[in-house]
Structure 1
Amino acid sequence: MSSVTYLSLAVNNFVGELPFDIGYTLPSIQTFILQQNKVGGKIPASLANATNFLSINLGANAFYGTIPSFGSLSNLEELILASNQLEAGDWSFLSSLANCTQLQVLSLGTNMMQGNLPSSVGRLANSLRALVLHANKMSGSIPPELGNLTNLSFLRMEQNLFAGDLPNAIGNLANLSSVDLSQNRLSGQIPRWIGKLRQLTKLSLQDNNFSGPIPRELGDCQSLITLDLSCNALSESIPRELFFLDSLSAGLDLSHNQLSRQIPQEIGGLINIGPLNFPTTAFPVAFQLL
């Protein structure tokens, strides 16, 4: 069926493997959705022959092996390969995606990609809005080249093994609205440039090794709905600037840190807060006994 442009087979119980020549037999295909089945095997390299592709969604299946090159798909806007058993290999597939100049969504979370995230991530299209890399086994430091993706608004890199400081270049990503870097091994202080991310609605940095004070500049993120800094080694007092964030409605969690002194009276400014979790060391002794 060489004229087919849209094919969706999502949310079924299909098993087996994709035909090795699928990119040749469906040369006009633009959208292929196979999400949430039980299809396995390797992703056919022939998919790259169908050069009209706009969207490929193979998420939530049982594909394994390395990800093939998709660099010939210059019009590709969306590539979703999350929740499989895919490996990064030498990461050449990531370099090839630099040729996909219309790419907006790249989702590779919950796979088996190991090793350092290469600097080539910074050569992805400037049109990229969502980068999803969570629940892999990526390690090393977060490459500063990530700061080249200036239109990025959605970033998920939690549940990996990233270590070291947050690169200053991330402060260039002024369009970020949701950032999840939780459950890694990141360390150092939470940088003051975090306050430059004025579009943030969600910031999740819990379960890392951050230390030092909570930056007062977080008070400049006036759109924050969720802020989770729990399970780190943050110290000193809670900056009163946090309590002027009346946008916080989905939760503020500062528990399991080394914060001290009493909670400022300005806590009353959290007029829309839902879940609220503080370390017990931040409360007066009399409050703890109630």
Structure 2
Amino acid sequence: MSTSTGICAGRVAVVTGAGRGLGRAHALALAAEGAKVVVNDIGAALDGSGAAAGPADEVVGEIRAAGGEAVAHAGDIATSDGAASLITTALDAFGRLDTLVNNAGFLRDRMLVNLDEDDWDAVMRVHLKGHFLPLKHAAAHWRAEAKAGRTPDARVVNTSSGAGLLGSVGQGNYSAAKAGILGLTLVAAAEMGRYGVQVNAIAPAARTRMTEQTFADTMAAPEDGAFDAMAPENVSPLVVWLGSESSAGVTGRVFEAEAGRITVMEGWRPGPTADKGARWTPAEAGETALKLLSDAEKPQPVYGAR
């Protein structure tokens, strides 16, 4: 770890879904910057089926081989027991918790008319509930620390998506879950600031198991020596910074991260408005809405829309 700047030295970080893709890149990057890491991964297939300890263990092995400290956690963080044990693992192994990176997820893509209720529930469970429960248990620990006079300098980095910001054809369940994560991020940032916790979200774009089929034509690995714009490792420096003490004062924000680009997303803001001061008739409401729409900025297109 001789190249480390030590931006996370002394910190303990938990990363969910860290056995592959973005989560693996984040775990390795945090460890390279001095963090002790809890590597969570249930080892499921791309559609969420099955389980295996191998992916988490392999990343732990990589971190240790590079001179870092890490432990594996193969529990299901979309259950209360699994999320609680995730936080307990960090405290038992390293005595503290400073950074939580919520990253775990999978896909079950279907057009809405073909989307089964089970596929909706499964994606909501892992992406949205799988963010809420680790956040809840980590927040409870940090609140207790603050009330005991040991106010933490804690960080949470949630993982949304461009699909959550704009929508994505064939991904109604995934888009809704990722949009929900944005709302959860804003509420958590507002509620937890008094306890020394900052909460932000990223919307990354990278080549992972979840994207390689959707973006097969644009996410191929480059030729030797060329910048790999779609490498998951491109996203991790922002995650490391957000998870460090250096990001002091940054909370409740959403960042897009792709290749060498970082963008602050500005979200929903009031646009053109009209106030009659009394109840509209349907005709008046329609006429006014059309006028307001003509003055408003055009929305960005949904991914995959024609």
Q: Same fold (TM over 0.5)?
A: no
Structure with larger RCO (C-alpha < 8 A, sep 6+): 2
Quick check: which one's helix share is greater? 2
Q: TM-score, normalised by structure 2?
A: 0.28
Q: Which has the larger radius of gyration?
A: 1
Q: TM-score, normalised by structure 1?
A: 0.29
